[in-house]
């Protein structure tokens, strides 16, 4: 077939494609038929094009023919790991400390976002990494095992854990910025998304307990959250105040975890493998007698069988399987709205309870306080590891009842 005939076929193909993609008057059935004809015609043109004389007109841009022809493809953007290897890890002029620190930063980024092509790492991605790093617990990466970065951040937000310093965040960004200087210079990246950020390197937030004024403000400011009920808000907050339990422990309490032991109503904090939840440590499995104030709270109804599985059934589960993420977000938002400082979080109730108990009379033993709070015993002798060591529930009840607050500090139900 001559070049004129081949051009005619290509012109017909282009007309058919135009009709399919731009003509709204063509019915769906007609478009389906045209697509079949386009497919057949494209195959024919490709076969003929193999013997195309030099100078023959190219296939229409964007057509199946154009896509099927050999062409020079633009190289794809290399991934972050490859660029780090090229410009940092194999650079003989870089110190081992620099290589080790940069590898840690790159590993954190890849864990959070995957090994992204460098041209796809924009200011938006850098901003999300900034937020993750800013909320990363200070202990992350210091143990033999640890949670993935996103789970660690979610847990730190929930528990109000101490986070890494602004200087640490700045160091991570500086390492990536140094790498991007090479990429921009070689036109392997359009711009450096790691440059120009502000870091608070002077202030490190140290969590503390609540003051009476802050508790009074919290207790008497109307709750306007919509993600959890007013009853759940008051119930979880009150349990935290009168037990020192971690937020995750409270949110995972089931009705079956309320038991009467030696005549004393107790919370039984324990693993629930069927829901893939367990206390933070082995010492976290414990018996906590229920404070008399909680037992008399109208509406909390701790000893009444409501038919619900969970004590607080309207809590949600996050993507990292953390139950109560809606409460954690609502609490943080409400606390900020009413002016509670950043260094006071839900976890601060543990600090408050611990301080109050350790300031009580000498007849309350340190071991009893550690047992109630789920702390590892400071004296790890035989028989001090958990509540089965022989500590009477009555002694633990004595610890709990030593907790007291000014009336104005107590949350009305």
pLDDT score for 287: 94
Q: And the tokens for 392? A: 């009477």
Q: How far apart are CA 172 and CA 179, in angstroms?
A: 11
pLDDT score for 2: 55
pLDDT score for 382: 39
Query: Is the residue at 118 inside a domain?
Result: yes
Asked whether the whole model's pTM tops 0.85, one would answer no
Q: And the tokens for 381? A: 């002798």
Same domain, 235 and 277: yes
Q: CA dihedral in degrees (202, 207, 208, 213; nearest 10)?
A: 80
pLDDT score for 163: 85
Query: Is the residue at 194 inside a domain?
Result: no
Domain's final residue, options 68, 89, 112: 68
pLDDT score for 216: 96
Query: Is the residue at 122 inside a domain?
Result: yes
Domain's final residue, options 22, 39, 68: 68
CATH number at residue 311: 1.10.443
Q: How far apart are CA 394 and CA 246, in angstroms?
A: 22
Rounded to 5°, the CA angle 97-103-104 comes to 95
Give the number of other CB atoms < 10 A from CB of residue 151: 15
Nearest Cα residue to 217 out of 337, 128, 309, 308? 337
How far is C-alpha 326 from the geometric centre of its chain's CA atoms? 13
Q: What is the DSSP letter of 264?
A: E
Query: Is the residue at 206 inside a domain?
Result: no
Same domain, 138 and 236: no
Query: Is the residue at 73 inside a domain?
Result: no
Same domain, 285 and 146: no
pLDDT score for 70: 47
Q: How far apart are CA 350 and CA 208, in angstroms?
A: 9
Same domain, 171 and 99: yes
Angstrom distances, CA of residue 268 to CA of 102, 288, 295: 45, 6, 15
Q: What's the Rg (C-alpha) of the chain?
A: 32
Q: How far apart are CA 195 and CA 177, in angstroms?
A: 6
Same domain, 39 and 120: no
Query: Is the residue at 198 inside a domain?
Result: no
Query: Is the residue at 95 inside a domain?
Result: yes
Same domain, 116 and 38: no
Q: How far apart are CA 310 and CA 234, in angstroms?
A: 16
Same domain, 325 and 228: yes
Same domain, 52 and 101: no
Residue range(s) defining the domain that contains residue 343:
212-409
Nearest Cα residue to 180 out of 121, 110, 265? 121
Same domain, 38 and 174: no
For the chain (length 413 residues), average pLDDT per consecutive 10?
62 62 57 65 60 47 47 68 94 88 94 92 93 88 72 77 86 96 94 90 74 95 89 95 94 95 94 84 89 91 89 82 83 91 90 92 83 72 44 91 94 83
* Phi, psi for residue 148 in degrees, rounded to 5: -55, 155
What is the domain count for the chain? Answer: 3
Place of tokens 């602004």: 166
* Phi, psi for residue 110 in degrees, rounded to 5: -65, -35
Query: Is the residue at 53 inside a domain?
Result: yes
Same domain, 136 and 53: no
Helices (H), 88-229: 96-113, 123-134, 149-159, 166-185, 212-220
């Amino acid at each position: 077939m001559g070049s004129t005939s081949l051009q005619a076929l290509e012109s017909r193909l282009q007309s058919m494609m135009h009709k399919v993609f731009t003509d709204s008057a063509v019915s769906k059935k007609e478009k389906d038929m045209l697509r079949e004809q386009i497919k057949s015609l494209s195959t024919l043109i490709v076969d003929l094009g193999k013997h195309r004389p030099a100078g023959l007109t190219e296939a229409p841009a964007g057509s199946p023919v154009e896509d099927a022809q050999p062409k020079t493809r633009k190289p794809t953007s290399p991934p972050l790991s490859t660029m780090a290897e090229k410009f940092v890890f194999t650079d003989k002029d870089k110190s081992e400390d620099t290589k080790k620190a940069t590898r840690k930063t790159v590993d954190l980024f890849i864990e959070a976002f995957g090994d992204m092509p460098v041209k796809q790492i924009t200011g938006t991605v850098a901003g999300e990494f900034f937020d993750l790093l800013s909320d990363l617990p200070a202990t992350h990466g210091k143990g033999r095992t640890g949670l993935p970065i996103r789970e660690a951040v979610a847990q730190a937000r929930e528990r109000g854990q101490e986070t890494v310093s602004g200087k640490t965040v700045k160091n991570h960004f500086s390492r990536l910025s140094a790498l991007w200087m090479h990429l921009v210079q070689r036109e392997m990246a359009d711009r450096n998304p790691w440059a120009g950020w502000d870091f608070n390197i002077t202030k490190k937030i140290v969590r503390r307990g609540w003051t009476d004024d802050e508790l009074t403000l919290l207790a008497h400011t109307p709750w306007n959250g919509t993600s959890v009920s007013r009853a759940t808000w008051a119930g979880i907050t009150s349990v935290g105040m009168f037990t020192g339990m971690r937020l995750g422990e409270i949110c995972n309490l089931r009705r079956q975890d309320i038991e009467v032991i030696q005549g004393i109503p107790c919370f039984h904090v324990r693993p629930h493998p069927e829901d893939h939840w367990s206390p933070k440590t082995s010492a976290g499995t414990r018996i906590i007698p229920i404070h008399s104030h909680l037992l008399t709270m109208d509406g909390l109804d701790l000893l009444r069988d409501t038919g619900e599985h969970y004590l607080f059934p309207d809590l949600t589960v996050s993507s990292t399987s953390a139950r109560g993420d809606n409460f954690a977000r609502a609490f943080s938002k409400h606390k900020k709205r009413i002016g509670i400082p950043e260094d006071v979080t839900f976890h601060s109730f543990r600090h408050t309870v611990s301080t109050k108990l350790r300031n009580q009379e000498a007849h309350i033993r340190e071991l009893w306080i550690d047992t109630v709070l789920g702390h590892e015993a400071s004296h790890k002798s035989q028989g001090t590891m958990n509540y089965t060591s022989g500590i009477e529930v009555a002694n633990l009840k004595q610890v709990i009842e030593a907790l007291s607050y000014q009336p104005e500090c107590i949350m009305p139900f």
